[in-house]
C-alpha cells in the first residue's frame, strides 16, 4: 500500500489536533499490516499477526523513535484500501417466456410466474408509443445498464495493538445515467431544468433524485489486542463464517451483498494447538427509539424506549485454524492443512410492531415502529407478542494441500415465531422454523496451478406448503391451508454459483440443490504479477420440494457460464490475504435453459390460458473493470 498523497494527508492534518497526533503516534514507523478480513467468522489470523508484531516490538532493545514530521507520522498510521469498479450488463429474456406477447394475449400474466424479476414495461406498449414496430407494439425483453461503486476502507493503526477500521461507499451501485440534470423521484422538478433528452450533466444523488445518498458509511469498528489476554472488537463490523452461505462479508470486487453486525466480541487463541474461541453479543434490532418517534431535537443521545421489542443475539465460535504463515510453510512441504470450526447463535424477541393487523395473504405492513409509544391506544394496537426465538448452528471444514482444496459448510436453523393473521385481531399463530442448508467445494490444480478442475454442490431445504422458491420478505410468503411451519433455507445472496437463475432472478439459492462442475485454465500465471485465465462452468439446479415450484416439477434449469478475467499483481487469497492492488477486468457470458419447474403445470398447459406458453432462453453478458488498492 502506497502512502496517501500529500493533499490527502493535509486534509487529515487539518481534521486532527497536533496534540492528539503526538499522543497517539505509532511506536513502529513501518509496521507490517495484516488485513482485517474474516475467513472463518472471526479474524484470528489478524489477531495472531497483531500479537506477533507486539512481541517483536517488545523484544527490541532500542525502539525506533516515531517520525518527527507530522505528515510522515500520519502516513505510517493511516492506510487506505478498497476499489473502484464499473460493471456494464446486458440481460435478455429474464422473464423466461412469461412475458411473451403471444402468451399474454391468450390471458397469461407475468405476475403469475412467481418470478421475483422486474419485467421490462416496454413489452406491449401501444402502437401510439411504438409506431416503428411492424405489429404496432413494443417487444422489449432486453434490459441493459452499467453501474459503479467507489469503496474506501480506511484503517487507522494507532499502535501495533490498537486499530480502527471502516467502510465507506461512494456511488454505491449507482446506475450510470440515473441522476441527470433536473431529474427528481418525487415532488416538482425545477422549471428551469432541461428535460432528460437535453440534460447537459449528471448531478450528485440526493434524497430528491435517488433512494441512496452519494456517500454511505457501512462499517466502523475497533480492534484491541493483548498478546496474553486476547482481542476485543466493538462497533459495526463484517460478519463472515466459512464459505459464506450464512454470514458473508461480501468484500469481493464483484460483490453486492454484505453481512454487517453491530457486535461486541472477545476472541482468544491457544496458539500451540491452533485453537480459537470467540464469544460475542449482537444488536440485530433495537426496535423503536426516541429518535424514530420524533422525540428528539436532532442532536444528543437517542434512547431505546423498550427492551421487550429488541432482538437479542448471543454467539459463540470455536475451532482450529492454522496461522497463515505456518500454513504456507506446510503447503510448500506438501503437507495437509486442516481447519474447522463451529459457529452458534441464539436470538430472541418478545414483542414486535411489524406485520401487526394484516391479512394472511399479503402480510402488508399497516402499523410501523413510529407509532409505538405515541399513546396508550396505539401501544395496545401496535404491538403483538412475537415470542420469536431461533437456534442457529453452522459447521465448517477446510482441508488444504499444495494441489487441492476441499471445503464444506452446513447450517441448521430451528425456532418459532408468532405472526398476526387478520386485520383487527391480535390473535397470533405460532409458526415453527426448521431449515437446513449446506455447500461443498472441491478444486484440484494441475500443470503448476495453471489448470484447475472444480466441483461445487449445495443443498437448501424446501417447503412443500409454500408457493414459490423465494420471496424477498423472508418468513411471510404465500402459504397453503393451515400451514404452521416454514422450512425453506436461503443461502446468503453473495454466495454466487451462477450469473442468471440464482444471482439475478431469484437473488439467492433457496429451496433447491445444484451441481456445478467447472474448469479454469490460466494462460498467464505469475504470482505477484499478471494473471489471465478463462473459466467455463455448467450449473444444473433442482428444487428440493417439487410442489414449491411454479410447474410442480423439480427440474429448474441448466445454465452455462463462461468468463475471461485479467488481474495485475495477482495474489492468492485462499489463506485470507487481501487481493493485490492493481487492475481487474472480466468479461462474462451466461445462458440459462429453463426447465419444467419454472413454467406452468402440466394440467394448466391444456387450458387456453397457458396453451401458448413456451420457454425463452435467458442470456446475459457482463463486464467488470476496476482498480483495487
Helix axes 6-15, 70-77, angle to 10 degrees: 90
Cell triple for residue 347? 436470538
Q: How far is CA 175 from CA 178, 493, 507, 562, in A?
A: 5, 20, 18, 24
Q: What's the CA angle centered on 180, arms 179 and 183, to 5 degrees?
A: 80
Beta-bridge partners for 459? 438, 513
Q: What is the pLDDT of residue 219?
A: 97
Phi and psi angles of residue 502, each rounded to the nearest 5 degrees, phi first: -90, -30
The closest alpha carbon to 25, from 80, 64, 81, 83, belongs to 64
Q: What is the pLDDT of residues 232-290, one digit of tens each?
A: 999 999 999 999 999 999 999 999 999 999 999 999 999 899 999 999 999 999 887 87
Find the radius of gyration of the CA atoms of the chain. 27
3-class SS of residue 496: coil
Whether 366 and 404 have beta carbons less than 8 Å apart is answered as no
Which range has the top average pLDDT, 12-16, 331-335, 526-530?
331-335
What percent of the chain is predicted at pLDDT more than 70?
77
Answer whether residue 356 shows pLDDT above 90: no
Q: Residue 9's pLDDT is what?
A: 44
Higher pLDDT, 206 or 595: 595
The whole-number pLDDT of residue 329 equals: 93
pLDDT at 209: 81
Query: Residue 491's pLDDT band (boundaries 50, 70, 90)?
Result: very high
Q: Give pLDDT tens digits for 450-461.
A: 999 999 999 999
Please give the pLDDT value at position 46.
Answer: 45
Query: Residue 65 pLDDT > 70, yes or no?
Result: no
Judged by average pLDDT, the poorest of 45-49, 184-188, 347-351 is 45-49
Largest CA distance in the chain: 88
Q: How confident is the model at residue 66 (pLDDT cuts 50, 70, 90)?
A: low
Q: Write the secondary structure of 139-201 as one string of H (helix), E (strand) and C (coil).
A: CCCEEEEEEEEEEEEEEEECCCCEEEEEEEEEEEEEECCCCECCCCCCCCCCCCCCCHHHCCC
Question: In the numeric block, which cell numbers belong to residue 135?
Answer: 405489429
Q: What is the pLDDT of residues 526-578, one digit of tens each?
A: 888 999 999 999 999 999 999 999 999 999 999 999 999 999 999 888 787 88
Q: Taking Cα atoms as reference points, which of 488, 362, 365 lies closest to residue 437? A: 488
Confidence (pTM)? 0.84
Residues in the chain: 629
Closest CA to 222 of 257, 252, 263, 259: 263
101-105, 239-243, 308-312: least confidently modelled range:
101-105
Residue 472, all three cell numbers? 424477498
Q: What is the 3-state secondary structure (H, E, C) of 231-270?
A: EEEEEEEECCCCCCCCCCCCCCCCCCCCCEEEEEEEEEEE
Residue among 491, 348, 363, 336 at smallest CA distance from 420: 363
- Cβ contact 566:532 at 8 Å: yes
Q: d(Cα 397, Cα 404) in Å, to the nearest integer? A: 14
Q: How confident is the model at residue 509 (pLDDT cuts 50, 70, 90)?
A: very high
Mean pLDDT of the chain: 82
Question: With bands split at pLDDT 50, 70 and 90, how would you rate the model's confidence at 199?
Answer: confident
Decide if pLDDT at 193 tops 80. Answer: no
483 falls in which pLDDT band (50, 70, 90)?
Answer: confident
> Going by C-beta distance under 8 Å and a sequence separation of 6 or more, which residues neighbour residue 524?
530, 531, 532, 533
How far from chain centre, in Å, is Cα 520? 25
Q: Cell numbers of 389, please?
A: 426465538
pLDDT of residue 366: 38
What pLDDT digit, counting tens, does each position of 80-99 carry? 999 999 999 999 999 999 99
Region 596-600: mean pLDDT is 96
| CA gap 302, 266 in Å, rounded | 27
Stretch 214-225: mean pLDDT? 96
**pLDDT on residue 475:** 53
pLDDT of 27 above 80: no
Backbone torsions φ then ψ of 220, nearest 5 degrees: -160, 120
Structural domains of the chain ordered from first start = 6-12+20-95+143-295+308-628 (2.40.160.100)
Q: Among residues 591, 592, 598, 590, which one has the least CA distance to residue 614?
A: 598
Residue 459: how many other CB atoms lie within 10 Å? 20
Tell me: pLDDT of 359 over 80.
no
Q: For residues 399 and 330, give the distance between their C-alpha atoms in angstroms, rounded to a whole number.
A: 12
Least confident of 117-126, 167-176, 225-234, 469-478: 469-478
pLDDT at 68 over 80: no
**Residue 323 vs residue 189, higher pLDDT:** 323
* CB 473, CB 530: distance < 8 Å: no
3-state secondary structure of 278: strand
The mean pLDDT of 342-370, rounded to a whole number, is 63
Question: pLDDT tens digits, residue range 108-163?
Answer: 888 888 898 888 888 877 666 776 655 555 778 899 999 999 999 999 999 889 99
Amino acid at each position: 500500500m502506497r502512502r496517501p498523497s500529500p493533499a490527502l494527508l493535509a486534509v487529515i492534518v487539518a481534521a486532527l489536533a497536533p496534540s492528539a497526533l503526538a499522543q497517539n503516534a505509532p511506536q513502529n514507523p513501518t509496521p507490517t499490516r495484516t488485513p482485517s478480513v474474516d475467513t472463518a467468522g472471526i479474524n484470528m489470523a489478524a489477531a495472531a499477526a497483531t500479537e506477533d508484531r507486539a512481541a517483536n516490538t517488545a523484544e527490541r532493545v532500542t525502539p525506533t523513535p516515531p517520525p518527527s514530521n507530522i505528515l510522515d507520522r500520519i502516513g505510517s498510521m493511516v492506510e487506505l484500501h478498497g476499489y473502484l469498479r464499473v460493471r456494464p450488463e446486458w440481460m435478455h429474456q429474464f422473464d423466461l417466456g412469461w412475458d411473451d406477447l403471444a402468451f399474454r394475449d391468450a390471458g397469461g400474466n407475468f405476475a403469475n410466474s412467481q418470478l421475483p424479476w422486474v419485467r421490462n414495461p416496454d413489452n406491449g406498449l401501444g402502437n401510439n408509443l411504438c409506431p416503428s414496430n411492424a405489429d404496432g407494439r413494443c417487444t422489449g425483453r432486453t434490459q441493459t445498464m452499467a453501474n459503479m461503486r467507489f469503496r474506501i476502507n480506511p484503517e487507522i493503526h494507532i499502535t501495533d495493538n490498537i486499530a480502527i477500521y471502516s467502510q465507506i461507499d461512494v456511488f454505491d451501485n449507482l446506475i450510470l445515467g440515473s441522476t441527470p440534470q433536473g431529474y427528481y423521484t418525487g415532488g416538482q422538478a425545477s422549471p428551469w431544468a432541461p428535460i432528460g433528452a437535453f440534460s447537459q450533466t449528471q448531478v450528485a444523488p440526493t434524497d430528491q433524485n435517488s433512494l441512496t445518498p452519494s456517500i454511505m458509511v457501512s462499517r466502523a469498528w475497533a480492534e484491541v489486542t493483548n498478546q496474553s489476554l486476547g482481542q476485543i472488537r466493538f462497533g459495526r463490523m463484517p460478519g463472515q463464517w466459512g464459505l459464506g452461505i450464512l454470514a458473508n462479508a461480501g468484500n469481493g470486487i464483484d460483490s453486492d451483498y454484505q453481512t454487517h453486525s453491530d457486535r461486541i466480541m472477545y476472541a482468544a487463541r491457544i496458539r500451540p494447538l491452533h485453537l480459537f474461541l470467540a464469544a460475542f453479543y449482537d444488536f440485530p434490532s433495537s426496535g423503536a427509539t426516541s429518535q424514530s418517534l420524533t422525540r428528539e431535537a436532532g442532536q444528543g443521545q437517542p434512547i431505546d424506549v423498550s427492551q421487550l421489542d429488541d432482538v437479542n443475539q448471543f454467539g459463540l465460535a470455536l475451532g482450529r485454524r492454522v496461522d497463515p504463515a505456518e500454513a504456507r510453510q506446510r503447503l510448500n512441504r506438501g503437507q495437509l492443512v486442516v481447519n474447522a470450526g463451529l459457529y452458534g447463535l441464539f436470538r430472541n424477541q418478545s414483542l414486535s410492531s411489524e406485520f401487526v393487523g394484516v391479512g394472511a395473504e399479503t402480510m402488508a405492513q399497516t402499523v410501523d415502529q413510529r407509532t409505538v409509544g405515541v399513546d396508550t391506544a396505539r401501544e395496545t394496537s401496535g404491538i403483538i407478542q412475537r415470542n420469536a426465538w431461533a437456534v442457529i448452528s453452522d459447521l465448517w471444514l477446510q482441508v488444504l494441500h499444495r494441489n487441492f482444496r476441499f471445503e464444506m459448510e452446513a447450517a441448521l436453523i430451528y425456532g418459532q415465531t408468532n405472526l398476526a393473521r387478520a386485520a383487527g385481531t391480535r390473535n397470533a399463530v405460532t409458526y415453527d422454523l426448521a431449515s437446513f442448508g449446506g455447500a461443498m467445494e472441491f478444486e484440484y490444480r494441475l500443470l503448476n496451478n495453471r489448470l484447475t478442475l472444480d466441483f461445487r454442490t449445495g443443498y437448501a431445504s424446501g417447503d412443500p406448503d409454500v408457493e414459490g422458491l423465494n420471496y424477498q420478505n423472508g418468513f411471510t410468503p404465500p402459504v397453503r391451508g393451515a400451514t404452521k411451519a416454514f422450512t425453506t433455507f436461503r443461502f446468503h445472496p453473495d454466495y454466487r454459483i451462477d450469473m442468471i437463475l440464482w444471482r439475478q432472478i431469484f437473488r439467492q439459492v433457496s429451496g433447491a440443490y445444484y451441481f456445478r462442475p467447472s474448469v479454469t485454465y490460466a494462460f498467464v500465471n505469475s504470482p505477484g504479477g499478471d494473471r489471465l485465465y478463462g473459466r467455463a462452468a455448467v450449473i444444473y439446479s433442482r428444487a428440493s420440494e417439487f410442489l414449491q415450484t411454479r410447474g410442480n416439477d423439480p427440474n429448474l434449469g441448466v445454465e452455462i457460464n463462461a468468463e475471461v478475467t485479467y488481474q495485475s499483481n495477482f495474489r492468492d487469497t485462499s489463506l485470507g490475504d487481501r487481493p493485490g492492488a492493481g487492475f481487474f477486468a472480466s468479461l462474462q457470458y451466461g445462458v440459462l435453459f429453463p426447465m419444467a419447474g419454472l413454467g406452468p403445470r402440466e394440467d394448466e398447459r391444456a387450458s387456453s390460458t397457458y396453451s401458448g406458453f413456451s420457454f425463452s432462453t435467458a442470456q446475459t453478458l457482463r463486464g467488470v473493470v476496476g482498480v483495487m488498492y
